[in-house]
Amino acid sequence: MTYCPLCHLTQEDKRWLLYGNEYWSVFLADKQDYVGRCLVMCNRHCDSLSKLRPEEWYSLKSIINALETMLSTELNATMFNWSCLMNDAYKYDPPCPHLHFHLRPRYKEMMHIGNITFLDHEFSHHYNNQAQAVMDDEALQNLFNTLHSKVDIYFTK
């Protein structure tokens, strides 16, 4: 198998780990183009949705429930865009896709967090895949700290 970076996460990669269980890891995305953007990664090297095992699929639903509830409650997200793409893995030959989801919270209203004011310019339209990050390192760290301190409320241990 080709080297898979998601199977070999460094401590630096794990810096924004919000929650993990036996099957899944939830990271706050280091690029916060949509505030609260997360990545939900399968712990096992699995290359497609259809190859997920029943126990992974079952657990994924509890992760989705907890994340949507947390981000609605703590950030006042209006709704969520979920995608499972894995396109980047196919830039290599052979490809080495490792299943993960992108979660972009979307906001009808202007939202404020710390010193950041965020307006979801494309709300009710497809997310902008070229959107720029709206948070610097300090704001990202603050957002992480805020969400991480609430994880136990929403996720099962």
Residues forming contacts to a second copy in the complex (CB under 8 A) are 48-50, 52, 54, 57-58, 61, 64-65, 68-69, 78-88, 90-91, 95, 97, 106, 108, 123-127, 129
Residue 4 CB, nearest approach to a second copy (Å): 15
Cβ neighbours of 93 (radius 10 Å): 7
Distance of closest approach, residue 76 Cβ to a second copy, in angstroms: 15
In the complex, what is the shortest distance from the CB of residue 121 to a second copy, in angstroms, rounded to a whole number? 13
What's the min distance (Å) between Cβ of 143 and a second copy? 21
- DSSP of 13-64: GGGGEEEE-SSEEEEE-SS-SSTT-EEEEESS---SGGG--HHHHHHHHHHH
Nearer to a second copy, 55 or 138 (CB): 55
The alpha carbon of residue 60 and the mean position of all alpha carbons in its chain are separated, in whole angstroms, by 13
- How many Å separate Cα 127 from the centre of its chain? 14
Q: Which is nearer to a second copy, 15 or 98 (CB)?
A: 98
Closer residue to a second copy (CB): 48 or 156 = 48
Backbone region of residue 87 per phi and psi (left: phi > 0; alpha: psi in -120 to 50; beta: other values): alpha
Alpha-carbon distance of 97 to 115, in angstroms, equals 37
DSSP label of 132: P
Closer residue to a second copy in complex, CB, 15/127: 127
Any residues with CB less than 8 A from the CB of 85 and at least 6 apart, and which? 102
Give the residue with the Cβ less far from a second copy, 21 or 142.
Answer: 21
CB 64, min distance to a second copy, A: 5
